[in-house]
A and B are shown apart, each in its own frame.
Chain A
Amino acid sequence: MNIRRVAVVGAGMAAARFAQQLLARTSPGAAEVTLYGAEPDAPYNRALLADVLTGRYDPDAIGLPLGEGTTLRTGTRVTAVAPATRSLTLADGTTAPYDALVLATGAAPVVPPLRGLRDGEPEPGGVHLLRTLADCRALADAARRATHAVVIGGGVLGVSAARALAALGTPTTIVHRGAWLMERHLDDRSAHLARGWLAALGITTHLAARPVTLHGTDHVQALELADGTKLETDLVLLACGVRPRTALARAAGLRVRHGVVVDDRLAASAPGVHAIGDCAEHRGAVHGLTGPAWAQADALAAHLSGTDPGARHTGARPLTRLSAGPLQLAAFGDMTAEHAPGHDVLRYSDTTRGTSTTLVLRGDRLVAGVLLGDLAATGDIALAWQRDEPLPADPSYLLNPEGARA
């Protein structure tokens, strides 16, 4: 390996995975890997935050392996990168040279336009985000005192956070703009079932609802919707999705669309610069999932370490997986294909038990699917999706949890 100093901007899941994989592939001392993390915490498993909120995990116990020898600089914001001189600048004005730069800046929560909410920092009190461990600690603390919580956003994060808040004993309402929950992943029928699961957990859902105003001066008191409905609450969680953090890359003149544009080698548009994880746009796709982020980290580590110079990331077939207490969900592909010509839909539904499986096929291949409730068949279906496996002429066995294993 002819690259010694590897600077990683970000210390999230992709960064930790990359460092650990790179060091596992190089001899001791061959690479100096430095992670620059803006957060005060060492890398941790962000996928577990909802269950940190419920208290299932100790916040100090979800730390991830970094690889022995990695230099970790937490609470250190990188303010500029200069690909031409291969150096980066930190918030305190110091600069650091690198041989290879990896942008793993992740994604930032989207803050919706609401009256009563200043741009940038959530204000007034009682308004929260759930992206970082610090967010999670603050939210857990607030939830202990809250009498009622409103979650704005009924996507995967909103649903899992709402479940966690409800599990803490806080009556919780989801306010969602879409016609059904998690509409990026679910078809309407599955979403309807999911809503039933949430209702059983004590979570009310408002669909097609547009929040417009936060009421309360020092502390939030109510959320007003466009139709005039006023939801009294002393805790609001904004779960309106995330957006890749690309400011640094943009300022450095790197090519950015939705994310930092990278090729199959995870290389950005300037020599020596790479991007992985939620901030990267690969083959037109920006994922917000660990699976693709870690696959990218692994491929880049294989490539940069020199152990597999030909390593490429050729794309991902990601699967969204949600375990929110008793509500189990797996979703993959584009469910809108269900209505497209040339596609077959297989559906199994048990409304009493609240389980359903919907699979969209084109020919003998899976195109999309949603599994809800009893997920005994998920393992095999997930693998068939990830591997793009041909299915037998009669794939109906996939609908029967036991049949899928037979």
Chain B
Amino acid sequence: MTPTDTHCPYCALQCGMRLRPRPTGPGGTPPSAPPVDVEERPGFPVNQGALCGKGRTAPALLARALRLTAPLVRDSADGTLREASWDEALDRMADGFRRAAEHHGREAVGVFGGGGLTNEKAYALGKFARVVLRTPNIDYNGRFCMSSAATAHRAAFGVDRGLPFPMEDIATTGCVVLVGANPAETMPPALRYFTRMREAGGRLIVVDPRRTRTAEQADLHLRPVPGTDLALALGMLHLVIADGHLDKDFIAARTTGFEGARATAMAHWPERVEQITGVPVSQLREAVRMFAGAGTGMVLTARGSEQHSKGTDTVRAWINLCLATGKAGRPGSGYGCLTGQGNGQGGREHGQKADQLPGYRSLTDPADRAHVAAVWGVDPDSLPGPGPSAYELLDRAGTPDGIRALLVMGSNPVVSAPRAAHVTERLRALDFLAVSDVVLSETAELADVVLPAAQWAEETGTTTNLEGRVILRQAAVPPPPGVRTDLTLLKELAARLGTTHGFPDDPREVFDELRRASAGGAADYAGIDYARIRAENGVFWPCPDPAHPGTPRLFLDRFATPDGRARFAEAGHRPQAEEPDPAYPLHLTTGRVTAQYQSGAQTRRIAELNAAAPGPFVELHPHLAERLGVGEGDVLAVTSRRGRALAPARITAAIRADTVFMPFHWDGPGRANTLTNPALDPQSRMPEFKVCAVRVEKAAEAEARP
């Protein structure tokens, strides 16, 4: 059978892989067997053939037995979900949305997208919301992912692309500061670049309250109290100034706002920062010596630094550090964000975001509105304005101020949203909920209509990886009978709601329209097409015309701000929204484990991954365990002001004694997001996933029983 070159369905690295269809016997593929095998695709530069366990086992979920293969509708008689025809499911959806709009106004219908959707789907979904539903109420789970980094990028550099350089540049730089990032466990194939960098004499600094597998490989591991990265970055900037490491020529030629940043740094002298962060002055000095002393350097942040109510200011403080030392806008140097979701980058560029139109155009800019309206063939005045952010959308759902009907596509907020029990309650309060997904996720279980969606190996479409490289996923096998792509779903639904044109389900047709919509925008895809992507192993945006080579490295001549200069920020440290107190004396931080992905809706269904990471746990330090009288494996109750979660203790000296850690991949009693705090960053509207105050105790015997 002919193999098909494509990409992994999981994280933002979007590793290249090759899928070889299995020969089908006379009875077809058995329901429990995947129809393809994964092979190496060494020619794709980002991963050069390497895959992690998630990528390797990804085809398992293509097996019919593990997934949805028919639409489900909630039976009016017994209230359970039962199989239905596509026509019935689509009619129910159209009816649900129409009713909500009729009774409560167009704005009562909302859309919640996902960072795993292809560019084509994200684009079509945004267009569907604005043209068919004509609602401002659309946002997506990327708001929970990299919105702080995106906001900081735009403010500092004028454009938001996760990395301003290809991954391969990491291997060449002199020093990397990895902040709140754990690529050894979250994107293992990326680790090779850091290893090569160190082999070539570069230094790795890891900033993380936990001694993760990534931190173990660092030349220096700084271990701040959760929620204090902003102070840490400003303390480093202070030492850069005090110890004469400023690149004054770069600051003068290519930046603005240094004076404000300098004053703020003066308020964060090392001895004070030590008392805020717990990072000793000696280590702060060592970090600055390594970073400033290297000829080139990078700061890379991930969710650990970004998912805070001050996430944007924190990222900007790290950018300050790059700007002050001249480590930005030059080969081998720069600030970057390690985006999380598979299409976290592209998903935020093309119209799923509450305030943005495709190509990073703004919903409030008249010229931007006119451009996109012209491509869509609608009156610019008919486009709604910006809507609320993801948490705000969910928080108000089913209330008089909020949406009454919702379409969720490729997201599982019951597990992944902060204050998840409340969000679940809001979803239950909706008049109508439709979910399109591959599997019956915890969110889908609440729906009135569930649509079985085609998967990565079954449909063609582009994603944009963390480097800003637009790549092509190609269908290797057809979806099973009963399964359709989201593009087909939107086409059919639009038609039922009265829009019969403008929603093609051929991805190439959608992509060509996306190119026109993005033309001239910040994320300009106009010159990219499927053939070029195939021939060039992906094309980096911006790429304004077919003759343009694409832009692997941004900012080498100028930053994307109106005056071409990068902007320093001046925000100082402030405490997290919820500080520990006698009732809730510990910090909770959350994150991932290697074998699971996001809400676990996919990976929890794959036996090999589940065997490696079967369930939630609470990581705590031996000293804390001693104080609480807790032994390894004892079931702990972790309580915050939002709720209570139960999970077994995992005792390790790799975590601070004032902090406990829970992975967030599970629903049920061990759901970490039951506890997390929805306090929002005022700029990015990112919830404060990464730190809240909790109490930890041994669960009562009764609670510990299943």
Contacts and interface: CB of A to CB of B under 8 A. Distances in A.
B386 interface: no
Given A375-B280, A390-B627, A65 B570 contact: yes
A305 to B, nearest CB: 14
A379 B626 contact: no
A64 interface: yes
Interface residues of B, number: 33
A56 B572 CA distance: 23
B282 A63 contact: no
Interface string A362-388: 000000000000111111101100110
A346 B658 CA distance: 22
B275 A64 contact: no
B223 A405 contact: yes
Interface string A104-125: 0000000000000000000000
A378 B270 CA distance: 12
A17 B266 CA distance: 12
Contacts of B653: 406
A321 B260 contact: no
A328 interface: yes
B241 A61 contact: yes
Contacts of B282: 328, 374-376
B272 A63 contact: no
Consensus secondary structure, chain A interface: mixed
Interface in B390-438: none
27 contacts: A45-B266, A47-B271, A48-B266, A61-B241, A61-B262, A64-B267, A65-B266, A65-B267, A291-B272, A291-B275, A319-B275, A321-B275, A328-B281, A328-B282, A375-B280, A376-B280, A376-B282, A376-B283, A377-B280, A378-B281, A379-B279, A379-B280, A383-B275, A387-B580, A387-B658, A389-B658, A393-B626
B267 A45 contact: yes
Contact of B271 (A321, A377, A389): A321
Given A328-B282, A383-B225, A405-B223, A64 B277 contact: no
Nearest to B267: A64
Nearest to A389: B658
Interface in B241-290: 241-243, 260, 262-264, 266-267, 269-272, 274-275, 277-283
B642 interface: no
B280 A64 contact: no
A95 interface: no
A382 B274 contact: yes
Nearest to B283: A376
A62 interface: yes
Contacts of A375: 280-282
A335 to B, nearest CB: 19
A341 interface: no
- Give the 10 A-B residue pairs with the shortest CB-CB distance, closest first: A379-B278, A321-B271, A65-B263, A392-B623, A379-B280, A45-B266, A383-B278, A378-B280, A406-B653, A392-B626
Contacts of B277: 379
A392 B627 contact: yes
Interface in A1-58: 17, 20, 44-45, 47-48, 51, 56-57
B482 to A, nearest CB: 55
Contacts of B580: 387
A321 B274 contact: yes
Given A375-B280, A378-B280, A380-B657, 12 more contacts: A45-B269, A47-B272, A57-B241, A64-B263, A65-B260, A328-B282, A377-B280, A378-B281, A379-B280, A391-B623, A393-B626, A405-B223
A290 interface: yes
Contacts of B627: 390, 392
A229 interface: no
Contacts of A290: 272
Contacts of B623: 391-392
A147 interface: no
B266 A64 contact: yes
B551 to A, nearest CB: 36
A378 B275 CA distance: 9
Given A48-B269, A375-B280, A378-B281, A65 B264 contact: yes
Interface string B649-680: 00001000110000000000000000000000
A71 interface: no
A337 B262 CA distance: 41
B266 A63 contact: yes
A47 B275 contact: no
A321 B266 CA distance: 17
Interface string A63-102: 1110000000000000000000000000000000000000
A307 interface: no
Contacts of B241: 57, 61
Given A64-B263, A65-B260, A386-B275, A323 B281 contact: yes
Contacts of B242: 48, 51, 56-57
Given A57-B242, A383-B225, A405-B223, A47 B280 contact: no
Nearest to A374: B282
Given A56-B242, A323-B271, A392-B626, A61 B266 contact: yes
Contacts of A56: 242-243
B113 to A, nearest CB: 34
Contacts of B658: 383, 387, 389
Contact of A62 (B266, B275, B281): B266
B350 to A, nearest CB: 35
Contacts of A391: 623
Contacts of A382: 274-275, 278
Of B241, B270, B657, the most chain A CB neighbours within 10 A belong to: B657
Contacts of A393: 626
A249 to B, nearest CB: 27
B144 to A, nearest CB: 26
Nearest to B656: A380
Contacts of A62: 266
A393 B627 CA distance: 8
B401 to A, nearest CB: 24
A405 B215 CA distance: 14
B262 A47 contact: no
A61 B272 CA distance: 18
A346 to B, nearest CB: 15
A376 B269 CA distance: 17
A310 B701 CA distance: 40
A374 B280 CA distance: 10
Of A65, A319, A392, A406, the most chain B CB neighbours within 10 A belong to: A65
A402 B190 CA distance: 30
A225 B507 CA distance: 91
Nearest to B261: A65
Interface in B540-575: 570, 572
A37 to B, nearest CB: 16
A380 B260 CA distance: 31
Interface string B208-220: 0000000000000
Contacts of A387: 580, 658
Contact of A65 (B225, B243, B572, B626): B572
Contacts of A64: 263, 266-267
Of B267, B280, B282, the most chain A CB neighbours within 10 A belong to: B280
Given A56-B242, A64-B263, A378 B274 contact: yes
Contacts of B280: 375-379
A90 to B, nearest CB: 26
Contacts of A321: 271, 274-275
B518 to A, nearest CB: 36
Nearest to A392: B623
Contacts of B266: 44-45, 48, 61-65
A56 B281 CA distance: 16
Interface in B572-602: 572, 580
A63 B258 CA distance: 13
Nearest to A47: B269
Nearest to A62: B266
A279 to B, nearest CB: 20
B270 A323 contact: yes
